[in-house]
Amino acid sequence: MKKIFSILLTIFIPLSFTNVSKAGSHMEAEVIHWWTSGGEQAAISEFAKAWEEMGNTWIDTAITGGDNARGTTVNRIIGGNPPTAAQFNVSKQFVDLVEQGLLQSLEEVASAEGWRDFIYPPELIETCEFEGEFYCVPVNIHSWQWMWINNDVYKQVGLPVPQTFEEFLAGAPKIQEAGIIPLALGGQGWQESGMFDVVASSIMGFPLMQSIYRDKDLDAFRDGRFESVLNTYRELNQFTDEGSPGRLWNDTTAMVIEGKAAMQVMGDWARGEFAVAGQEAMVDYSCVIPGKEKYVALGGDVFVFPKNDDPKVKDAQLAMASMMVNPTVQAKFNNAKGSLPMRLDVDTSAADACMQMGLDLIQNPDAIMRESDDWNTPAFTAAWGDIISEFRNDPNYTVAQVMDDLEGVLTSGL
């Protein structure tokens, strides 16, 4: 008996000492995120590396799919077992959590480090600020506003690379005759409505979009320009292939890379697929921001830090928030991710031609575009997206009917 006791002592005493000695500086953080593809994992591991270089432990909880990851985060917060940090999109997704007082305010570190002075563009501050306090850390900017075009296809049919949707539509029949799919589109709801918003902004411009999506201005909605967007969208959809329904975005990008399709409308994360395939921007493929007025949309990711009773967790949260906005970490993270950094003083020398276009454009405040989910709840954007998706898939769903149904969503108060 004595022997067992002494063995136990020899095991536990050193353990308890190490715990005490580490408590001062060592911090542990569990991070929930949905970055599971190759490029995404490289990006999140830049955060993990920086965190571990500070002498801390990073517990990685990667969950496939943004919906699942966000669902897990909310469930765990409500269940009383919150993670240290969790990923959300630049949007209204986490507003309820702030309003219920479930998130840690980051104001302490934000005002000490002067976040309001360097976070760019300032619209990102609006996303994170509630009643004068910071509740999230923006980490990157992703824009949907891109057409990805296979240059060879256009060379082959003898057409210039289109710069607008009108030009694309004019050339599409000729591409179809050559046996190539003009428009590669993955028929999943988010891809369909994502492309719709790109068509909408490039045809009717951001100010009008803002008065519809943000102000719910029914006169602006009914002034005829939105209908022309719907018509263009329907025209574009004649040029997709029948394998479209349910296809993943990266499989769709692969069609453009292989030359089976001419063009895809997709966010700037598609660039990673071209890079992996060994293609060079503007040589093998073109990235075009469609429309006469070009915009960069402010999509992207943020991290929030759920409140925890343990004061040590709060220290870890503030330290991590400060680490995420650090310019060196930002440079490494965004180069791996292929997104734009959330501050201008970051080293972007590794940027390719497409990323450079985005970097140049974002410096012009007029070119910065917000997305519907910056103003609207997930319930609203999803209800809206349902109608757009149904409009694309059901040829009997008339423009007039769609206008009525969309008006129903606008006035629903969702």
Partner 1 sequence: MPFYRNIAAKIALLPMIVISLTVFVGCIIYSFVYSLTNSKLVPVMNYVGFDQYERLFKQRKWDVAVENIFIYGFVFTIGCLIIGFLLAVLIDQKIRGESLFRTIFLYPYAMSFVVTGLVWKWVLNPTFGLENSMHMWGMTWFELDWLVNRDLAIYAVCIAAVWQGAGFVMVLMLAGLRGIDEDIWKSLSIEGVAKWKSYIFVILPMLRPMVVTAIVLIAAGVVKVYDLILALTSGGPGYATTTPAMYVMENFFSRANLGQAFAASIIMFISVVCILAPWAFYEFYLRNKYANN
Cα separation of 272 and 24, whole Å? 41
Using the rule CB under 8 A, is 378 a contact of partner 1? yes
Pairing, β 261-265 against β 181-184: parallel
Q: Could you tell me which stretch among 93-101, 226-234, 276-284, 335-343 binds partner 1 (CB under 8 A)?
A: 93-101
Place of tokens 């409009």: 391
Residues 138-177, mask of contacts with partner 1 (x by CB under 8 A): ----------------------------------------
If residue 197 lies in a helix (H) or strand (E), which one and from where to where? helix 189-204
Closest to partner 1 by CB, 187 or 341:
187
Using the rule CB under 8 A, is 178 a contact of partner 1? no
Q: Could you tell me which stretch among 199-207, 211-219, 222-230, 238-246 binds partner 1 (CB under 8 A)?
A: 238-246
Q: What is the DSSP letter of 64?
A: S
Using the rule CB under 8 A, is 216 a contact of partner 1? no
Pairing, β 133-134 against β 129-130: antiparallel
Q: Which residues contact 13 (CB under 8 A, 6 or more apart)?
A: none
Closest among 125, 152, 153, 156 to 141, alpha carbons compared:
125
Q: In the set 108, 113, 125, 189, which binds partner 1 (CB under 8 A)?
A: 189
Q: To 5 degrees, how large is the angle CA 55–CA 58–CA 61?
A: 180
Closest to partner 1 by CB, 129 or 373:
373
Using the rule CB under 8 A, is 405 a contact of partner 1? yes
Cα separation of 297 and 320, whole Å? 26
3-state SS class at 326: coil
Closest to partner 1 by CB, 50 or 263:
263
Residues 95-134, mask of contacts with partner 1 (x by CB under 8 A): xxx--x-x--------------------------------
Contact residues toward partner 1 (CB under 8 A) are: 67-68, 70-71, 74, 78, 93-97, 100, 102, 187-189, 241-246, 377-379, 382, 386, 389-390, 392-394, 405, 408, 412, 414
